[in-house]
Structure 1
Amino acid sequence: MRSLIPFAATEPKTRLAPILAPDERAAFARVMLSSVVETVIAADFEPTVLATAQITDPLPAAASTVVDDQPLTAAVNEQLADGTPTLVVMADLPLLRATDIHDLVGTDADLTIAPGLGGGTNAFCTREPAFRVDYHGASYLDHCEIAADCGATVETVDSRRLATDIDEPADLAEVLIHGDGAAREWLVDAGFELDTDDGRVGVRRQ
């Protein structure tokens, strides 16, 4: 089974602009990418990073890079067009573990999908040659419908680690609370800490 990790290499994570400068967003995105790559490798895959531009940071020898500057949906669908069974994992899942990958690929379903907390699609494994993606809006529901239209069986993996992607400043609290890897270390080194002053857990920068 092929494995893909889409990655926005230019101007990543713009919704983190209120708390991170452009160079910091780029650095944090690369840290999360490296973490996901290493986790996918630990799950016995040799991932291909599907990047919008060339990545200058070195990747592990087991990983490769394909540059495709198309929008996410078009780039992933081009890879799916040959019908090869494929695992797709987003690059901003800092809590991801190898066991989560095993859960995705270990089912008998034609499509196994991990939704994000906001209704997106954070990872999926497809064995259905006709399946295609549409990442706009509530893509988890869209992908379930697309699979049904293909006559494919669907299984959902309900996992906090798979569901936690990093898009908004509030998402960083999940990394500080539940993370134990490079992304959490980067945030701590950058001066971030939990903020519980308003009753709801958030983050602040020292």
Structure 2
Amino acid sequence: MKALIPYKKKNAKSRLSPALTLEEREEFVELMLREVVSSLKEAGIREIDVLTTPDNGVPGDLNVNVVPSEYDLNEAINAYLEQESRPIFIIMADLPLVRAKHIEDIVSRTEDVVIVPGKGGGTNVICIKDPSNYHVKYYGPSFLNHCNIAKDRNCTVHIYDSFMLSTDIDEPHDLVEIMLHGHGNSQKYVTERFDMKTGKARARINVSGDA
């Protein structure tokens, strides 16, 4: 089993700009990448490829393989899959709530494809047993895209339902989930910068300018 992590650091996470500066966002996405890599290694996945454009620096101390690509996300991943014969675990870099147990559960499944849906119809993880019989189609309702691709390829599918893995960090209100459920340096980074506001409905972070 190999893992593939698509990663973007340069000008990352513009939707977090109400809460974090560009420099802070770029630092934060690197911390989230570290959490994902750490959980993969704890789960026993030692061969980890980080797919990124050449201008996105990947820290050398992570001990991962950097796969540079100028293609867009779908083209880059599909070109990668065409060259692989071993099972591939594709996981997004903005999932700091992931734990090793989630990864162990997913890779132990016997289905051809395991899909973890993200918020709003996205796809946060795909575990593919036979890369030669599958391709990806991110953007838009990618969860439905990936289910339909599996159906068209006669692949057996398991939908892995997990709050922790469905929580990608894109918007300022997502940051509270790291404060509540996170771990490691990404949680420390958020808790040092924000206070948590609680009310009758739900907890949220206190962003500058909030009432």
Q: Is contact 1:9–1:52 with CA below 8 Å preserved after alignment?
A: no
Q: Deviations over 1:17-64 (max 9, x none)?
A: 111110010000000001111111111112111112341533333x21
Q: Is contact 1:103–1:157 with CA below 8 Å preserved after alignment?
A: no
Distance in 2 (CA, whole Å) between partners of 1:194 and 1:69 is 39
Residue 148 of structure 2: aligned partner: 145
Q: Give 1:32-71 correspondences, 5 Å limit.
A: 32-45=32-45, 46-53=47-54, 54-61=56-63, 63-71=64-72
| Segment of structure 1 superposing worse, 180-189 or 196-205 | 196-205
| Segment of structure 1 superposing worse, 52-61 or 143-152 | 52-61
For the pair 1:119 / 2:121, whether they are aligned, the reply is yes
Q: Deviations over 1:51-108 (max 9, x none)?
A: 12341533333x2111113211111111111352211011000111111111111111
Which residue identity is paired with 1:35? E
Deviation (angstroms), 1:198 = 7.3
Q: Give 1:91-170 correspondences, 5 Å limit.
A: 91-128=93-130, 129-170=132-173
Residue 191 of structure 2: aligned partner: 188
Deviation (angstroms), 1:16 = 0.5
Distance in 2 (CA, whole Å) between partners of 1:67 and 1:36 is 19
Residue 16 of structure 2: aligned partner: 16
Superposition TM-score, scaled by structure 2 size: 0.91
Unaligned regions of 5+ residues in structure 1, if any?
Answer: none
Distance in 2 (CA, whole Å) between partners of 1:181 and 1:124 is 24
Q: Is contact 2:58–2:66 with CA below 8 Å preserved after alignment?
A: no
Extract structure 1 runs of 4+ deviating beyond 6 A: none
Which of the residues 173, 176, 198 maps onto 1:173?
176
Residue 88 of structure 1: aligned partner: 90
Distance in 1 (CA, whole Å) between partners of 2:35 and 2:158 is 26
Q: Report the number of matched residues.
A: 204
Q: Is contact 2:106–2:114 with CA below 8 Å preserved after alignment?
A: yes
- Give the structure with the larger helix fraction: 2
Q: Is contact 1:19–1:169 with CA below 8 Å preserved after alignment?
A: yes
| Segment of structure 1 superposing worse, 193-202 or 90-99 | 193-202
Distance in 1 (CA, whole Å) between partners of 2:186 and 2:88 is 26
Q: Deviations over 1:165-192 (max 9, x none)?
A: 1011111111111112221101122x21
Q: Is contact 2:6–2:51 with CA below 8 Å preserved after alignment?
A: yes
